[in-house]
Structure 1
């Protein structure tokens, strides 16, 4: 058992700046899918940073693959109805869209869909957020054009294009055992930069068990953290893989990733099985803050909202507070001050922990 408060971090937008990686991948995956899978010419700037920000504010989009799929479902819903394809390969799907590829109004329809992604934000928020809310809102028109099912890049072409862009061909082949087909250039994962300082992690690790909860697959999280020198600070990592494994174990289709509290509870339990140490969860989205709020009835938990990656920090802070953030910081290094205040308020937390994070589970 530990009496030290647990400090658990989200990765993206808190530890790692993903504006040149994940955010760019989302923006580039959509037009690549339209061109390569549907055979529809699409402008590179069809999706911009404002669309990514809107999806994050809607809630329920901790998984970027779902964000891309939601955008595609919205875009194809603004096209004229197409016949259902005879199968689920790109070639078969392109047969359904052949009549649209050179239509003079195609650009207009796609721009209308692009604007609809921005306009639907309050409606999706009100519906609770997430991919199911978007699909219910836009309806079923042309939904058969979006090849998004199991987490297998051989059949899920939304995932495949996203992962090829993000990982690059070498890492994509290493992870999935198949060659990249659509994007053969460098992976955007290597553009990522560390936000938090190593001095901050050194300070926190002396006094607090540190953990990670992320929507990334485990291999991507480990790759980024090792490359940026942070891997050894953390004792536990709960990733997208763990969420899928837990859903399979329970036999449920309910998504157990954030904002569901399960990942945060699993990380906290690994660090403190008796459940007595308070939890501080540092994140940058409403889903992160909601996970802390939903955990709090079972053990003390507070959300620390980080606005570092947001251009409009005041609006981001307000959004995070509305989602349940107890504290707002503009940089993850500010966590040190919050934890110092917590120790002063709880004088029974004394002594230092040895080493860095030790083993990652």
Structure 2
């Protein structure tokens, strides 16, 4: 397969196991915002693994910060009503002060009380029915604004974004990466809970066989991606890495052209951009190896214009409800289900015979 094929990997969740880092952080954003910033009490976990997977499978929420925002926004819908915001904070300092005042105004509330009012799996189905993504969350809730949702005038996700990065990196690493102290969280991060899902020996072999034709993409900010690649000692493996900054740049280009539409998965932008950057003449087919339903949905959409053939394989990383998950991956378009790095190498070699 390698002579006429591009290899495009979803980095987080396919190459690197982020289930104990990014997934945990996405759940903890809601817990921290409600508990530490709004004063909700109790030891109950607000968001479970199953809740997170249901929201991600709803579509358009593979970006972990968007996913964190969606989980939190739904959880806020169970809180007691509060007076509307008169204006959006101009910066994070104002946002922190606003949250502190809101905490004093809220009646005593526990996580158990909120959990009784929430059904994440049922709401995830509503997100899907509304088209997925943050827009789908807003439509299902009747609008995104909420008196207890705090962002800034420039970025409604500013607080969630900052919380996510601080929880992921921890005090020391956040200060090193962003050259400023954390604002909300000063404990240890979860980034060092990551490990390779596809072993270094497999990646080295693929690098030799597919030199000049290997890319990876991530919904993460570039500093986090570079940090992870360095820690995993795989910075030299891929010829091209696309990150959230590429999504932002494309969204800006579309706005200048007066175009509308999504750029994040399941839209195919990242896949087409990776393939066209590696092979501008479109002489090669592209094999995308992902781990989520949106990876596979993006592959199907990438084929719509007929300019290049895309095929999607899925690395099976979920062991809970495994049979149902495998069926969902197949239904989303996975032509092969891969068990691990060695199995990937074997399947690629078999395709060359």
TM tier, smaller: 0.7 to 0.9
- Deviation at residue 55 of structure 1 after TM alignment: 1.6
Q: What per-residue deviation string (whole Å, max 9, x for no partner) do you get for residues 10-61 of structure 1? A: 1122111111100111121111111233233354511121122112211111
Q: 1:305 to 1:338 in 2, by over 3 A?
A: same
Match of 1:285 in 2: 292
Match of 2:199 in 1: 197
Q: Distance in 1 between matches of 2:291 and 2:312?
A: 10
Q: What per-residue deviation string (whole Å, max 9, x for no partner) do you get for residues 198-223 of structure 1? A: 22112222222211011111121121
Match of 1:248 in 2: 252
Which range moves more in the overlay, 298-307 or 196-205?
196-205
Q: Distance in 1 between matches of 2:334 and 2:151?
A: 33
Q: Distance in 1 between matches of 2:69 and 2:268?
A: 24
- Deviation at residue 64 of structure 1 after TM alignment: 1.1
Q: 1:141 to 1:191 in 2, by over 3 A?
A: closer
Q: Distance in 1 between matches of 2:239 and 2:281?
A: 16
Report if aligned partners of 1:169, 1:180 keep a CA contact under 8 Å in 2. Answer: yes
Q: Distance in 2 between matches of 1:156 and 1:178?
A: 16
Report if aligned partners of 1:65, 1:159 keep a CA contact under 8 Å in 2. Answer: yes
Q: Distance in 1 between matches of 2:153 and 2:298?
A: 25
SS of the counterpart of 1:282?
Answer: strand
Match of 2:92 in 1: none
Q: Does 1:95 find its partner at 2:97?
A: no
The two structures have a TM-score, normalised by structure 1, of 0.86
Match of 1:264 in 2: 271
Report if aligned partners of 1:76, 1:145 keep a CA contact under 8 Å in 2. Answer: yes
Match of 1:337 in 2: 346
- Select the residue among 227, 231, 235 that pairs with 2:235: 231
Q: Does 1:117 find its partner at 2:120?
A: yes
Alignment of 1:76-95 (within 5 A): 76-87=76-87, 88=89, 89-95=95-101
Where do 4+ consecutive residues of structure 1 move more than 3 Å? 93-99, 106-109, 148-153, 174-177, 252-255
Q: Distance in 2 between matches of 1:289 and 1:312?
A: 19
Q: Distance in 2 between matches of 1:108 and 1:19?
A: 25
Q: Distance in 2 between matches of 1:151 and 1:25?
A: 24
- Select the residue among 150, 159, 162 that pairs with 1:160: 162
RMSD, aligned α-carbons: 2.4
Match of 2:217 in 1: 213
Match of 1:27 in 2: 27
Q: Distance in 2 between matches of 1:308 and 1:108?
A: 30
SS of the counterpart of 2:215?
Answer: strand
Alignment of 1:50-199 (within 5 A): 50-87=50-87, 88=89, 89-96=95-102, 98-103=104-109, 106-113=110-117, 115-140=118-143, 143-148=146-151, 156-199=158-201
Match of 2:310 in 1: 301
The two structures have a TM-score, normalised by structure 2, of 0.88
Instruction: Give ranges in structure 2 of 5+ residues lacking alignment.
Output: 90-94
